[in-house]
Amino acid sequence: MNYTFPENFIWGVATAAQQIEGGMREGGRGLSNWDVFSHIPGTISGGGVPDVACDSYHLLDRDIAMMKELGVNSYRFSFSWPRIIPDGTGEVNPEGIAYYKKLLAGLKEAGITANATMFHWDLPYALQVKGGFGNRDMTGWFLNYAKVLLDNFGEDIEYWVTFNEPIATFVGNAKGFFAPGLCDEAYARQCCHNLLVCHGETVKLFRSRNYKNAKIGIVVDVWKHYPADPENPEDVAAAAAANETEGYGMYLHPLFLGGYSRYLNAYMKEQDVMPDIMSGDFETIRQKVDFYGMNFYNVLIDDSAKQRRLAAEQSEGGNYQNRPEYHTELLDKVLKEIVEEYGIDVPLFISENGLPQVGMTDREAILDDQERIDYLDKVLKTLHKAMQGGIDVRGYYLWSLMDNFEWSAGYEHRFGIYYTDFETLERIPKKSAAWYAGVIRHNGLPE
């Protein structure tokens, strides 16, 4: 079968500021919530901290050269809010502006289109102590930050993303294992609502600029749950709850349909975690975007009987998380269902997709990442099938350009197609880098 993609299909790689830049207290940068959270003992697997990370703050030229070697035509990165405005509000940091201007100039020279995220989880710590996204004043703080970005970079960036994976804000405030490390669901629901209002206000600001070439959208990850047995009420309930109360439905429904779903509303009322909603909020949230970015890694099958068995195995010393089942063959189904369920009528991007190498230490074994190649091959074939079936996907961004700081997993999960030596900061292409370069060169998969 021929797996050739459309002529203008975007092939990219993705990273995030907190995960690769380092330079934590350099160039006028302020602290982020993740800087502080990661230094609390026991929060990060292996004790890793992002102070240096991949040191892209100093090795930017090398990283752009890597992208040029790959042949990508787009780079998805994020701005660091504490590097742009160290205290979240107030004085703008000229060194931070200069860093991103250098990045954009390098991308332009290399013929690589910029896809920039305004917020990829790294909130200025000065705003976190004021309540973070739980404080309604965040709408003004974020809008000011967005204005600074648009004033300085505007049409230099073709694709603007307001927020990446807003679920992280819920996890960090309701579950405790992401920054800021809180376990207050009611507060987390308010954080999520305020974040969506920030998105809507930012889209309105963007529209007021009347840019000719720049576009704006949002990225929501989809880890879609399906019941193992559609006739088993326990499996059905588990899948519905995962999708609607702690998954993508919390965001896609208000973004594309307006308001929260009946399922989520009923749950929040029952649990007494309903956020304060102001008049006009949902009209603000439901702004027309130019594209939707879907981060996809896996589909999850909820099998209540199996989960009980695996939980028992884990309690006996096993770790079922080291034996994941990947259901890449369902990406086609997921895309169709998401588009239909939420009436998404704008172009889509697969804005992140990748496979981790977990707990590996042998360099040669890490470099020979055939398992990643096999996974990516299956994803792209299924994506091609979905596009042949009418789903309007305009591009694909592989996560990630290089091994980096993977949030609570620290440096123990390696998603990069370039190996990062976190002691020497050397970058070495893995087997998957050559494979992906071939995909880009052929604009698809060889028969």
Considering the domain boundaries, does residue 182 fall inside one? yes
Considering the domain boundaries, does residue 285 fall inside one? no
Q: Give the whole-angstrom CA distance, residue 224 versus residue 357.
A: 22
Considering the domain boundaries, does residue 230 fall inside one? no
Mean pLDDT of the chain: 96
How does pLDDT run across 23-47, given as a tens digit for each residue?
999 999 999 999 999 999 999 999 9
CA atoms within 13 Å, Cβ hemisphere of 75: 29
Token pair 């269902």 is found at 337
Spatial neighbors of 329 by CB under 8 A, at least 6 apart, are: 378, 382
CATH number of 406's domain:
3.20.20.80
Whole-prediction pTM value?
0.96
| Run of H or E including 219 | strand 215-221
Query: 217: helix, coil or strand?
Result: strand
CA proximity to 243, closest of 276, 268, 217, 221: 221
pLDDT band of 153, cuts 50, 70, 90: very high
| Average pLDDT, integer, range 158-173 | 98
The predicted structure's pLDDT at residue 321? 38
Spatial neighbors of 208 by CB under 8 A, at least 6 apart, are: none
How does pLDDT run across 186-228, given as a tens digit for each residue?
999 999 999 999 999 999 999 999 999 999 999 999 999 999 9
pLDDT greater than 60 at residue 441:
yes
Q: DSSP label at 178?
A: S
How does pLDDT run across 78-106, given as a tens digit for each residue?
999 999 999 999 999 999 999 999 999 99
How does pLDDT run across 302-332, given as a tens digit for each residue?
998 887 777 766 544 333 334 478 999 999 9
Output the 3-class SS for 237-284. Answer: HHHHHHHHCCCCHHHHHHHHHCCCCHHHHHHHHHHCCCCCCCCCHHHH
Spatial neighbors of 141 by CB under 8 A, at least 6 apart, are: 88, 89, 127
| Average pLDDT, integer, range 218-240 | 97
Based on the residue annotation, tell me whether 423 is a catalytic residue of this protein.
no
b/e sequence 46-57, b meaning 16+ C-beta within 10 Å: eebbbebbbbbb
What domain count does the chain have? Answer: 1
Q: Give the whole-angstrom CA distance, residue 8 versus residue 24.
A: 38
Considering the domain boundaries, does residue 404 fall inside one? yes
Choice among 185, 244, 246, 352 that is catalytic = 352
The predicted structure's pLDDT at residue 315? 44
Query: 418: helix, coil or strand?
Result: strand
Cis peptide before 180 (omega within 30 of 0): yes
If you count them, how many residues does the chain have?
Answer: 447
Considering the domain boundaries, does residue 259 fall inside one? no
Considering the domain boundaries, does residue 319 fall inside one? no
The predicted structure's pLDDT at residue 306? 84
How does pLDDT run across 129-139, given as a tens digit for each residue?
999 999 999 99
pLDDT greater than 90 at residue 49:
yes
- The range of the structural domain enclosing residue 108 comes to 9-219+328-441
How does pLDDT run across 383-398, given as a tens digit for each residue?
999 999 999 999 999 9
**Which phi and psi angles does 32 have, rounded to 5°?**
-105, 170
Based on the residue annotation, tell me whether 352 is a catalytic residue of this protein.
yes
| Run of H or E including 40 | none
Spatial neighbors of 144 by CB under 8 A, at least 6 apart, are: 85, 89
How does pLDDT run across 397-418, given as a tens digit for each residue?
999 999 999 999 999 999 999 9
Considering the domain boundaries, does residue 24 fall inside one? yes
Kindly state the percentage of the chain with pLDDT values over 90: 94
**Which phi and psi angles does 335 have, rounded to 5°?**
-60, -45
**Which phi and psi angles does 374 have, rounded to 5°?**
-60, -40
Q: Give the whole-angstrom CA distance, residue 447 versus residue 441.
A: 14
The predicted structure's pLDDT at residue 314? 52
The predicted structure's pLDDT at residue 25? 94
Considering the domain boundaries, does residue 288 fall inside one? no
Choice among 165, 185, 201, 244 that is catalytic = 165
